[in-house]
Structure 1
Amino acid sequence: MLTGKTFLITGVLMESSIAFHVAKIAQEQGAKVILTSFGRTMRITQTIARRLPETAPVIELDVTDQEHLDSLAERLGEHCAQLDGVLHSIGFAPEGAFNFLEAGWEDVSTALHVSAYSLKALAVAALPRMSAGGSVVGLTFDASFAWPVYDWMGVAKAAFESTNRYLARDLGPKGVRCNLVAAGPIRTTAAKSIPGFEQFEESWDSRAPLGWDVGDPVPTARACAALLSDWFPATTGEILHVDGGVHAMGL
């Protein structure tokens, strides 16, 4: 499905990462993948990269560092002539952002910068290498509702989803699609950093018509791989739910 394509994949930290499984599926389907990491996590990502079917190169990218963004296209040239897609699997909020009424702007602005604005920043930075027909795919947690404990991260995800729609508008004429996958809760490193995340784990399976396994990132990863492929040539600005059906249910 992905033979001959090259993808830039962010957010590979552990084998439990959704991004790791997107990279694995992409390679199994014939693609070349390039991973990103930065700072102290570089060594972790380089180690995890060796657990893929084929060891993937890792380049440094902090999406809040404009120098990293400005040089991304040039540095990608060391590994590929062009990109066919980018996976945005980046999110962070300081602990204070998980208290809605008491959070200060410093914590909130960090959450918005890393978890929302970075989608635009990454897409624009990769654009010089993107081929016509390329695809930007991001991971979200349905921002249609005020979830327990999610607080300003939920607001950041709402901004993230809006950013995707504007990117779809502006990158469509350049032949680039922009879509999101709204995943149910997955027990990843990022999820474990959210205070009270176990509330989602305990209730999601019982609410999902298809059931839900918080320890299985593969269904979400498959959806990402499909959106990165050529099988959705006329789909952009979309949010594809992979949550067992919870988004469609009432109380």
Structure 2
Amino acid sequence: MGLLEGKNILVAGVTMNTSIGYAVAQVAQAEGATVLVSNFGRALSLTRRVVQKLDPVPPVLEVDVTNDDHLAGLPDMVREHVDRLDGIVHSIAFANPETALGGNFLTTGWDDVATSLKVSAYSLASLTMACKPLFGEKSSVVGLTYDARVSWPAYDWMGVSKAALESTSRYLARYLGPEGIRCNIVSAGPLETIAKKAIPGAEQFNDVWSQRAPLGWDPRDLTPTAKAVVALLSDFFPATTGEMIHVDGGVHSTGA
């Protein structure tokens, strides 16, 4: 029996087969879960194509996490396929690469900052609350971050947004814990995703990891991160919430 046998999981933010969300969907299915995925807008057609490689092919829901109508209609969309959700994966982030990333921190305008915060951090709360009517007694919410306890070159306002995401997860853990809902974060090292490629200067991250990861680090291997997400979705962490699990080869534990 797999770790997620009999569980229904929504993975929000699957665009390419190099997306962390895709790897999570793949591992979750292998562990027995019924998986649904979501995306929106122009990326939706990419999602529908790429999930054809999964077995079984999961339903694809159109969900823009900044659209109140989409969030309000999400429970009904889910119920067309499953009667409940046992977990959701938040694999969603956006910041304008021309103004909010790549060393532009000191000159980024509020509108771009607000967009990054809303899409990358606030959406963890809004998506969770949209799905809450579908949750059972032991549901799990898992988000993805790039350790925002420190600053990183070029990451700029996305780093601030990830810090907000991490804090949002802790507050969700506080307020939803009495209802048996866990909320945790996985902090991955640099992975060759479409999101990373959009960050000007992100190749610097690989240099850091090649020098400092005690376990070594393969930026093309999404499986360790996906396995950590699946473990947190499972019943193997029944008393863990508000936590950030590092899957980074150990870099977070080193100094210079």
Q: Please report the TM-score for the alignment, with normalisation by the length of structure 2.
A: 0.97
Post-superposition offset of 1:175? 0.8
Name the amino acid aligned to 1:161.
E
The 2-side partners of 1:55 and 1:92 are apart by: 26
Q: Distance in 2 between matches of 1:92 and 1:209?
A: 30
Aligned position for 1:191 = 196
RMSD: 0.7
Residue 127 (structure 1) aligns with: 132
Q: 2:94 maps to which residue?
A: 92
| 1:181 equivalent in structure 2 | 186
Code of the residue aligned with 2:80 in structure 1: it is E
1:205 shift after superposition? 2.0
Structure 1's unaligned 5+ residue stretches are none
Quote the Cα distance in structure 2 between the aligned partners of 1:72 and 1:136.
16
SS in structure 2 of the partner of residue 181 of structure 1 = strand
Per-residue deviation at 1:203? 2.2
Is the contact between residue 138 and residue 181 of structure 1 (CA under 8 Å) also seen in structure 2? yes
Match of 1:53 among 42, 52, 55: 55
1:44 positional shift: 0.8
> Identity across aligned pairs (percent)?
55
Once the two structures are superposed, residues 181-228 of structure 1 have per-residue CA deviations (whole angstroms, 9 ceiling, x without a partner) of: 000000100110011000001221220000001111110000000000
Deviations 1:40-72 (A, max 9, x none): 111110111110121000010000001101111
Tell me which residue corresponds to 1:218: 223
Partner of 1:35: 37
Distance 1:170 1:102 in 2: 36
Runs of 4+ aligned structure 1 residues displaced above 4 Å come to: none
Q: Please list every run of 5 or more consecutive structure 2 residues that lacks an aligned counterpart in the other structure.
A: none
Would you say 1:155 and 2:157 are equivalent positions?
no
How many residues are paired up? 251
- 2 CA distance for matches of 1:55 and 1:207? 39
1: CA distance, partners of 2:221 / 2:75: 33
Q: How does 1:19-34 map to 2 (within 5 A)?
A: 19-34=21-36
Conserved? CA contact 1:88–1:119, under 8 Å: yes
CA distance in 1: counterparts of 2:210 and 2:55, whole angstroms = 31
CA distance in 1, matches of 2:155, 2:192: 15
Separation in structure 2 between the aligned mates of residue 159 and residue 43 of structure 1, nearest angstrom = 30
| Secondary structure of residue in 1 paired with 2:50 | helix
Name the residue aligned to 2:111: 106
Q: Deviations over 1:5-26 (max 9, x none)?
A: 0000011111111111110111
CA distance in 1, matches of 2:225, 2:93: 16
- Give the CA deviation at 1:235: 0.2
Q: Which secondary structure does the structure 1 equivalent of 2:61 belong to? A: strand
Q: Secondary structure at the residue paired with 1:101?
A: helix
Report what 1:64 is aligned to: 66
